[in-house]
């Protein structure tokens, strides 16, 4: 490819109709054949030699003039051969021949007529090598100069003969000029075609090259030049080995084609971080090979895409961890190795199936971007936890798996799982918030000779669900009985979904009684009731009553908790409003608030709408939230609880003392009630220090204390003596149906009338 074609800017878009035509190109440049340009100075030398020949054969009366003219022409020819070949230099030599010939003929010496040959040389040669317009003038100037000799009687013949000679000179000049024009047009058309071909070759993203039989670059476009980093012009004429040292495969395959005459396909070339595929073929004219052609295609992006696709088939795109497929392959290999080395001190393979607790709630509340960051942080924490050679994988969603091949037994695998739960309890900063995302982990250890990959993963999954059912944020180890429970779990899920959708969840009410601070020791009765706690109850027709601790977590997992919570809230508010009207007492109702409900941005508006619909005062409603749910996203919890209190709703922290509350946060929380967990009540009256501490803490922040789980007279007396404000528990009253609770309240009315 010519250097000239690369010096032309290529950024301008030229329509086909505006491409330069050959006729336009003829006017834009002078095409002088290189060989004629090189031989033209010899014309001066040749006519000089002719003059010296005339000197030898003719009269020597004007020898000085001939020698002088020959010397001038030889000097001009020598300068031309030394490089003085510009158009004006050529015109100078032509003019010198014309003038000197005229002078020598005008002397009218013997032999002067021989110099007419010089004019025929001019019209035969110089229209080819002079610039186009000047060359055209030779058909006029040379005959005219010759005719000027007629008045001097130096035309070497009568007038008619001289006229014929002048006409001949003009015709020869016109013929040579026409031939020169035809040649120039052909060259222009060729250059136009080559320029168009070069433009096309440079525009194509495919590398194109042509090498001669000496394997020298003769044609190369910009795409192929990228292989070496040189410009296309820097390749031309150079041997392939001289240019392609960085791509030896290119030279090797060009030699193969040259030696065998057969094409070579799909050869990979690399240069830096780029990858090409190339093919080479012989170029023939007829049956003769005249060179080697090559086509090179940059496949770097395709290779990267293929690598990314291959990676995506075995790795998770979000965390970069292995996915289920790759973990399955590695687990199969590990189980096979364990089976071969069984009994000889071989390795034990354990699988930990990990699932983030309430991740969907966090994801829905904080957004998918924050959810993705939690998943990435989980991946980092788990990867930092395991030993080298173990595998941490993401199965999708919020599910992770860990394959451990360096554990001795189930106890050691369980210890790894416990550490995983512990690291996940550490707060993480997500989207400018402090979030705690706990994890439930199921553990299974491959049995000797076990090669069932799917079975091992299924067992770990079942163990994980056992951890979920037990309350989350814990570890459960697989045992064979869990397999039988898998079908029961599916049946349980379907039945619970049907119960929520059909409104079969009922509400029980456990009275909350004010404690007598007088110290008389009387057991409070119905007349001391200040409110009730609404508790969801589900009677599964085929299996009887299901404890809330069993179905509430599953309802959250299945996304049913919103509907269930709305049903309980509405029914409890309607019932308490009716009791307030019939008894005339300012009873309150406490309703548990789930993690999902707390995270919903519009929950406060939903509560306000429910209170408005059932016509219950906002201060009659108390919403209870556990410590663990509260601390999952403290900033968001603060905003939500503040919004609820702004409605007039009372806020209680349920099961206080069992979570991870920070006293610094507790000071700022919009809390009205602290409910002391029954785990502290069970220790009474022996261990009173913790209950006393909570009572003092509640007084410090201006909150009411409610003791849960009062089941004995001694416990009641202890919490009364410690200054607790209210209590609930089986000793005072079990949870009652709506009808039973109505009768319980009516007993208070009967006592008051007595």
DSSP notation for 211-223: E-TT-BEEEE-HH
**CATH number of the 204-303 domain:** 3.30.450.20
The three-state secondary structure class of 710 is coil
Start and end residues for every CATH 3.30.450.20 domain found in the chain: 204-303
Tell me if 376 sits within 8 A of 575, measured CB to CB: no
Q: Which range in 62-66, 417-421, 435-439 is most confidently predicted, on average pLDDT?
A: 417-421
Q: Quickly state the pLDDT bin for 292 (edges 50, 70, 90).
A: very high
Residue with tokens 């919403």: 623
Start and end residues for every CATH 3.30.70.270 domain found in the chain: 315-479
261-275, 308-322, 336-350, 717-731: the lowest-pLDDT one: 336-350
Q: Quickly state the pLDDT bin for 5 (edges 50, 70, 90).
A: very low
Average pLDDT score over residue span 570-577: 91
Query: Is residue 497 over pLDDT 60?
Result: yes
* Cis amide prior to 49 (ω within 30 degrees): no
Token duo for residue 20: 């330069």
Q: How much is the pTM?
A: 0.48
pLDDT for residue 342: 64
Q: Quickly state the pLDDT bin for 452 (edges 50, 70, 90).
A: confident
Query: Which CATH class for the 315-479 domain?
Result: alpha beta
Q: Which range in 63-77, 186-200, 222-236, 586-600 is most confidently predicted, on average pLDDT?
A: 63-77
Residue with tokens 């404690």: 515
Tell me if 631 sits within 8 A of 569, measured CB to CB: no
Token duo for residue 719: 């919490």
CA atoms of 254 and 240, how far apart (whole Å): 9
Question: What angle separates helix 561-583 from helix 603-614, to the nearest 10 degrees?
Answer: 30
Higher pLDDT, 340 or 651: 651
Start and end residues for every CATH 3.20.20.450 domain found in the chain: 509-535+561-753
Alpha helices, H only, 595-661: 595-599, 603-614, 627-632, 634-647
Rounded to a whole number of angstroms, the CA Rg of the chain reads: 52
pLDDT for residue 420: 93
Residues shown for the chain: 754
In CATH, 509-535+561-753 is 3.40.50.1950? no
Q: Which residues pair with 348 in a beta bridge?
A: 407
């Amino acid at each position: 490819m010519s250097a000239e074609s690369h010096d032309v800017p290529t950024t301008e878009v030229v329509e086909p109709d505006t491409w330069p035509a050959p006729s336009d190109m003829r006017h834009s440049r002078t095409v002088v054949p290189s060989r004629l340009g090189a031989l033209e100075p010899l014309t001066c030398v040749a006519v000089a030699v002719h003059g010296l020949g005339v000197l030898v054969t003719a009269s020597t009366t004007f020898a000085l003039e001939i020698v002088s003219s020959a010397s001038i022409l030889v000097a001009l020819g020598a300068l031309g051969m030394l490089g003085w070949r510009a158009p004006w230099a050529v015109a100078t030599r032509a003019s010198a021949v014309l003038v000197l010939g005229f002078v020598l003929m005008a002397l009218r010496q013997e032999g002067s007529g021989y110099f007419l040959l010089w004019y025929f040389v001019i019209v035969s040669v110089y229209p080819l090598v002079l610039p186009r317009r000047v060359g055209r003038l030779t058909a006029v100037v040379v005959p005219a100069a010759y005719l000027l000799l007629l008045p001097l009687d130096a035309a070497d013949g009568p007038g008619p003969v001289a006229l014929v000679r002048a006409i001949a000179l003009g015709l020869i000049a016109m013929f040579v000029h026409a031939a020169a024009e035809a040649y120039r047009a052909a060259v222009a058309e060729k250059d136009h075609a080559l320029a168009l071909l070069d433009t096309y070759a440079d525009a194509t993203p495919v590398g194109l090259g042509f090498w001669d039989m000496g394997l020298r670059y003769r044609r190369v476009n910009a795409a192929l030049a990228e292989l070496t980093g040189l410009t296309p012009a820097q390749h031309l004429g150079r041997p392939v080995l001289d240019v392609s040292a960085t791509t030896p495969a290119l030279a090797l395959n060009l030699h193969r084609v040259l030696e065998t005459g057969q094409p070579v396909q799909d050869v990979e070339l690399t240069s830096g971080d780029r990858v090409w595929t190339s093919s080479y073929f012989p170029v023939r004219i007829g049956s003769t090979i005249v060179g080697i052609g090559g086509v090179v295609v940059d496949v770097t992006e395709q290779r990267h895409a293929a690598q990314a696709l291959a990676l995506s088939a075995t790795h998770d795109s979000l965390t970069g961890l292995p996915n289920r497929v790759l973990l399955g392959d590695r687990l199969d290999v590990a189980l096979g190795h364990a089976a071969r080395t069984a009994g000889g001190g071989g390795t034990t393979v354990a699988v930990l199936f990990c699932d983030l607790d309430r991740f969907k709630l966090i994801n829905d509340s904080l957004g998918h971007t924050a959810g993705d960051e939690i998943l990435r942080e989980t991946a980092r924490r788990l990867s930092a936890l395991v030993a080298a050679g173990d595998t941490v994988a993401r199965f999708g969603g919020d599910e992770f798996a860990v394959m451990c091949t360096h554990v001795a037994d189930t106890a050691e695998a369980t210890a790894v799982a416990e550490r995983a739960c512990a690291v996940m309890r550490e707060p993480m900063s997500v989207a400018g918030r402090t979030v705690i995302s706990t994890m439930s982990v199921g553990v299974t250890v491959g049995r000797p000779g076990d090669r069932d990959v799917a079975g091992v993963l299924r067992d770990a999954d079942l163990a994980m669900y056992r951890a979920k059912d037990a309350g989350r944020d814990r570890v459960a180890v697989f045992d064979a009985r869990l397999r039988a429970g898998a079908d029961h779990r599916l049946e349980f899920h379907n039945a619970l979904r049907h119960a929520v959708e059909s409104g079969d969840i009922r509400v029980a009410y456990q009275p909350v009684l004010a404690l007598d601070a007088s110290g008389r020791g009387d057991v409070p009765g119905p007349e001391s009731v200040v409110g009730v706690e609404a508790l969801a109850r589900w009677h599964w027709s085929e299996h009887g009553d299901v404890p809330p601790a069993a179905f509430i977590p599953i309802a959250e997992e299945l996304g049913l908790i919103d509907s269930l919570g709305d049903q309980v809230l509405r029914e409890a508010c309607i019932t308490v409003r009716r009791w307030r009207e019939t008894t005339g007492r300012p009873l309150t109702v406490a309703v548990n608030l789930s993690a999902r409900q707390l995270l919903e941005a519009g929950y406060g508006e939903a509560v306000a709408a429910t209170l408005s619909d059932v016509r219950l005062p906002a201060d009659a409603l108390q919403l209870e939230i556990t410590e663990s749910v509260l601390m999952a996203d403290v900033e968001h919890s603060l905003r939500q609880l503040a919004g609820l209190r702004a409605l007039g709703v009372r806020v209680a922290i349920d099961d206080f003392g069992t979570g991870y509350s920070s006293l610094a946060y507790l000071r700022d929380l919009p809390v009205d009630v602290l409910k002391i967990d029954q785990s502290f009540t069970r220790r009474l009256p022996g261990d009173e220090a913790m209950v006393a501490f909570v009572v003092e803490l509640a007084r410090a922040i201006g909150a009411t204390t409610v003791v849960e789980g009062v089941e004995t007279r001694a416990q009641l007396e202890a919490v009364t003596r410690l200054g607790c404000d209210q209590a609930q528990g089986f000793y005072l009253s079990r949870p009652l149906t709506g009808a039973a609770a109505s009768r319980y309240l009516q007993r208070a009315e009967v006592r008051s009338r007595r």
